Structure 1
Amino acid sequence: MSSKAMSAEDVKGKLLQGAFQHKGSAVSQLSDPIADTPMVVTLDQLRPYDHNPRLNRNPIYDQLKESIRSRGLDAPPAITRRPGETNYLIRNGGNTRLAILNELWAETRDEQYWKIHCLYRPWAARGEIIALTGHLAENDMHGALTFVERALGIDRAREFYEQEGGKPLSQRDLSRRLAEDGYPVSQPHISKMQDTVQFLLPAIPKLLYAGLGKPQIERLTALRRSAEKTWRQHAGEAAAHIDFDGLFQDVLASFDDAPDFTVERFQDELIHQMQQPLGKDYNWLKLDMLEARGAAPEPVAGTPVTDKPRRSAAQPTSTKDPTTTPEPLIPPLDSGPDDSPHPLSQPAEVASEQRPEQDSRALIDAHVISPIVGLTPRIQAMKQQLAKASGEPLPDFAESCLQAIPVQVGGLHPVSDLWYIERQIDTPDELRLQICGLVHDIAQTAQLQVEVYPATTGTGYALGDPDDVKGRSVLVGLLHALGGQPGAEIPVGAIAALLIGAAPQGTQVLPARLDDETLVKLFRVIRLARRLADLEAES
């Protein structure tokens, strides 16, 4: 069956009909490309990356602007777009170029600055982390970030990683993840950055954003750690209500507007503010902080180093004249020998002349049970010179080894001489603090599940109830007795077994043995407790 041919009128009617109507909803935005795609975008479609680590003006901003004005944009930035957002954003570096293009467009209205040929790269599954690490790397290559900008960027990266993994991230894991994403940073460097963000930035934002250098920041963070350790070591009930972090930041904040900030001046003021609540001498606090840091601070190139003189706690800080040159804390280490010989040094010098150097070194090493961390020859020389200046010569471990039998035990409360008691701790309150610290070390070293509490009476400490059978050992009973607490009687044989590591002949007491470090600290506790009893009897 053949179809009927259309007449001329039918064809004319079809042609005169209206256009086809699209009955679906209008598309407001085309989908983004799924592969890297060149495209032309205008300035109103672009915005800078909202987590850009650079907060200050790029130091080469003016040079870049003149280059773009004369040559055009040689290296257009890569762009991307978060799913569902309208504007494109800079993907991995180029926020400075975008700001310059906006300035040049406002100045010239030249179309070459308005329309930009860019490479669009799709938003990745881990887009936030990829974008942030890309900006960190790009900014480091084209105009260095300040230390605090890099620290804040890495802190933001840590937040993204924790959101991605759903759990907190250690510094070591953060270092590994950053390296995997193309921005390697060592764990110690991350530690300094986190200390900067947590402890320094709230106090000195102006100094940090103005570009305070890495050497000074590292010295500030090291100073904070050593000062905190010294504070915890000496803080008693009188200073228990003072928050050290708050004290540190309050003192540091007073230097935020200082035009000639130096770490030495801040250290001087910090020690001064620590003096009164701790009840300690300025010089001894400074030495304690140097020992806690492990070495004397090295001067930063271009920074004048000024050791502050001893100052009383009552002296107001407003009277300080920053232009004056203070007296040095101690005589220089290369000064000539004193005419009067050290009372403990002469026999050692004679003995060292008669003993080969290797034998002397072997004898010293044989009496080091565990080394005291931070007691460098320089620190020891400083302590000796300070003691000479105050009329109290200290026994020197290396020299005394050649004529006596000293020991050396490290830890939080180290021991370098069992018998000698320094003048600075020869008071009932200080002796109690020392004894309590040593007992705490003993409990930790022997892994006793018992709490040690400071006390202002008696021997200076009290023990809580032990948590397990091991906590009810002979050692705990002995510590109870030394602390003056009532407890079960301890068999003499058990004490002997504890001290010598073998049961006395003819007894059935099971042998127990203290390690050398714990034994030395136990002897030191007994020595200090005897001196405390003498002072209490004299008063």
Structure 2
Amino acid sequence: MTAMAKQRTTDLTDALLKRGRQAEATLTVATPDAPGSEMPMVLTLDQLRPNPDNPRTSRNPRFDDIKASIRARGLDTVPKVTIDPDNPGSYIFSDGGNTRYQALSELWAETHSEHFYRVHCLFKPWPGRIKCVIGHLAENELRGELSFIEKAIGIRNARQIIEDESGKAVSLRELATALTEQGYPVSYSSLSRMDSCVRHLYPHLPALLESGLGRPQINALLVLRSDAEKLWNHYAAEAKPEVTFENVMTKVCPHFNSPESWSLEMFRDEFIGELVSALPHPSLNYDRWLIELDPSEQNRRQLFGEPEPVAPQLQQQNQQPEPEAASRVPAQVRKPTPPPTTPGVASGNTSEPNSTVATGNTSEPGSAVATGNTSGAVSDVASGNTQSAPPDFWSIPTLQDDADHLRNIAFRLAFELADSDSDGEAVIPDNGANSGGYRIDEELSASPISCLLSSLAGGACDEDLPDLMRELLIGSSDAEPRFDNALTQTFMKLIRTLRRLRELQRQS
């Protein structure tokens, strides 16, 4: 082999052993002059910035898992970036990536490994703010990582950007069309709920919503607020309240602005109490508000329409003065006057007078089913021949005579009784099919009243119940009863409610 041939073979061998050329864009970090088309880049963490329009404001619940995965395997997907219009020397994520950037930053601070400092990215020319916002929304929607309020605020920001760019207001229907055209379809009804949540709930309950309150609970709260506002507006012109509806919301909501304190039933109870105080009107009391704000009643009205108004003659009867005691016994149940005999002997009847006022029905007196009273407003106790009719705790309105309503009423009454001894937090709602509407948390319970309530609902009680009942309801010759008259009436109403609830459960 000649010397020249040997030299050519050596040159060819050296050429084959040389390292191949790499793409120019991946040899160095990107320059401030951004390219005009999509291309791969290697960017450092110093050049990257989180997107300020990213709808996520809370820590990703999967952050620790994502960080552990990046530590072990690196990035599974290449993040998409674009030029930062406010800082041409920096790049922001255009379609998600803020969580991965945070994980890489922490790993770089912990290890100082170039593996986490230099990031392979796919550059996209600046698409505009609206495209970036929708890109982040779509990315998080795909992963299911956004809370309801984060998504609602993100869409509100998208609406604001569209309005700024177009120079005119954008309706929700126009927004739905614009988002669909951008590749992010959202129904008008969903946009309406999100808008109502941001405008009406977020100012009053920010911490609760940011904690991740779910769509079903938010929808129920929105319906409750909407129904209450409609009834408020209907009577406000006549009642002329001194405060606004929003003032009532502002007063009630701070007590429930955390996941630990949130309960829709408790919120409804306190909300109605404030509404009754703020909007005094003869047609509005607690029970009326409770019925109007009950989802079951709203569904019934959608199916069967509004309830029939009370007949004029019944309204006149309600407005007439209270008759004498002897005339309060209904004519259909009065007995003929017997001949003069010794009471209870000639007839062989040893029962108390007036104890056998009959309705021809063996069901419990006062129940809406037993009396056949569709108005649910007549009390059997009040129809007895007494000089002074006791409070009407026996009757149950027809619209509330079902297990769901009775469980809710029982919980409210039990909470009121326990709260009188500063033990209300021990009463927990229980909507089980065979429950009494509530249960007592033994770890939170510190009152004998809660022990009695637990016994009524079918739970355990370590107290001596006869002595406890005497202490609460009757007292002694030297000690007042712990329950005043109002609490005693509440206790009796709870017993009546639980009796009717158990009756319905036995029939089911």
Shorter-chain TM-score category? Answer: 0.5 to 0.7
TM-score (norm. length: structure 1): 0.50
Q: Structure 1: which 5+ residue stretches go unaligned?
A: 1-27, 298-303, 333-388, 390-539
TM-score (normalised: structure 2): 0.53
Separation (CA, whole Å) in 2 of partners of 1:318 and 1:239: 36
The aligned runs of 1:237-248 (5 Å cut-off) are: 238-248=239-249
Q: Residue type of the partner of 1:119?
A: L
Contact 1:81–1:123 (Cα < 8 Å) also in 2: yes
Corresponding residue of 1:111: 114
The change in CA–CA distance for 1:29 and 1:75 in structure 2 (over 3 A counts) is closer
Residue aligning to 2:101 = 98
Structure 1 residues 287 and 76: CA distance shift in structure 2, 3 A: same
Aligned counterparts of 1:62 and 1:147: Cα–Cα separation in 2: 22
Q: CA deviation at 1:183?
A: 1.3
For 1:53, which of 49, 52, 55 is the aligned residue? 55
The amino acid of 1:306's aligned partner reads N
Name 1:157's counterpart in structure 2.
158
**Which residue identity does 2:293 align to in structure 1?**
M
Q: Distance in 2 between matches of 1:230 and 1:129?
A: 39
Alignment of 1:249-288 (within 5 A): 249-257=250-258, 259-279=260-280, 280-288=284-292
Please say if residues 79 and 121 of structure 1, whose CA atoms lie closer than 8 Å, have aligned partners that are also in contact: yes
Match of 1:122 in 2: 125
- Within 5 Å, give how 1:116-195 maps onto structure 2: 116-124=119-127, 127-195=128-196
Q: 1:2-33 deviations in whole A, cap 9, x for unaligned?
A: xxxxxxxxxxxxxxxxxxxxxxxxxx964211
Comparing 171-180 with 128-137, greater Cα deviation is found at: 171-180
Aligned 8 A contact 2:83 2:125 in 1: yes
Whole-angstrom CA distance in 2 between matches of 1:132 and 1:266: 35
CA deviation digits over 1:407-426, x for unaligned, max 9? Answer: xxxxxxxxxxxxxxxxxxxx
State the distance in 1 between where 2:139 and 2:154 align.
13
Q: Is the 8 A contact 1:282 1:310 kept in 2?
A: no
Matches within 5 A, 1:255-404: 255-257=256-258, 259-279=260-280, 280-290=284-294, 294-295=298-299, 306-307=408-409, 309=412, 321-324=424-427
Alpha carbons of 1:128 and 1:258: their partners in 2 closer, same or farther (altered >3 Å)? closer
How far off is 1:143 after superposition? 4.4
Aligned to 2:6: none
Q: Are 1:80 and 2:82 an aligned pair?
A: yes
How far the C-alpha of 1:277 sits from its partner, in A, is: 2.8
% identical equivalent positions: 39
3-state SS, counterpart of residue 299 of structure 2: coil
- The aligned counterpart of 2:68 is 66
* 8 A Cα contact 2:81 2:92, kept in partner: yes
Say which SS state the counterpart of residue 294 (structure 1) adopts: helix
Give, as a single letter, the amino acid of the residue that structure 1 aligns with 2:427.
Answer: T
Taking a change above 3 Å as real, the CA distance of residues 198 and 73 of structure 1, as seen in their structure-2 partners, is same
Aligned residues: 294
Counterpart contact for 2:211–2:259, Cα < 8 Å: no
In 2: Cα distance, 1:326 partner to 1:62 partner: 35
For residues 502-517 of structure 1, the aligned pairs below 5 Å read: none
Instruction: Compare 214-223 and 176-185 and name the one that shifted more.
Output: 176-185
Provide the aligned C-alpha RMSD in A: 3.3
1:193 and 1:138 mapped to 2: Cα distance? 19
Gap change, CA 1:325 and 1:59, over 3 Å in 2: closer
Q: Secondary structure at 1:44's aligned position in 2?
A: coil
Cα offset for 1:181? Answer: 0.8
In 2, Cα distance between the equivalents of 1:101 and 1:327? 46
Mapped to 2, the partners of 1:213 and 1:154 lie a distance apart of 17
Shift, 1:237, TM fit: 5.4
Query: Residue 42 of structure 1 corresponds to which residue in structure 2?
Result: 44
Aligned match of 2:207: 206
CA–CA distance in 1 between the matches of 2:421 and 2:167?
50
- Structure 2 unaligned regions, length at least 5: 1-29, 302-405, 436-495, 497-508
CA displacement at 1:281 relative to structure 2: 1.5
**What is the SS of the residue equivalent to 1:117?**
strand
Q: Secondary structure at the match of 2:81?
A: strand
- Which whole-Å CA distance do the structure 2 matches of 1:266 and 1:139 have between them? 31
How far off its partner does 1:59 sit?
A: 1.6
Match of 1:56, SS? Answer: coil
Q: Supply the AA of the counterpart residue of 1:274.
A: L
Does the Cα contact within 8 Å between 1:102 and 1:113 map onto a contact in 2? yes
Equivalence for 1:410:
none
Question: 1:446 matched to which residue of 2?
Answer: none
Residue by residue over 1:436-476, the C-alpha shift from the partner in whole angstroms, topping out at 9 and shown as x without a partner, is xxxxxxxxxxxxxxxxxxxxxxxxxxxxxxxxxxxxxxxxx
Instruction: Supply the distance in 2 between the matched residues of 1:287 and 1:93 (Cα, whole angstroms).
Output: 46
Q: Distance in 1 between matches of 2:196 and 2:109?
A: 42
Is the 1:223–1:293 Cα contact (8 Å) retained in structure 2? no
In 2, Cα distance between equivalents of 1:174 and 1:285: 36
Shift of 1:176: 1.1
Counterpart amino acid of 2:270?
E
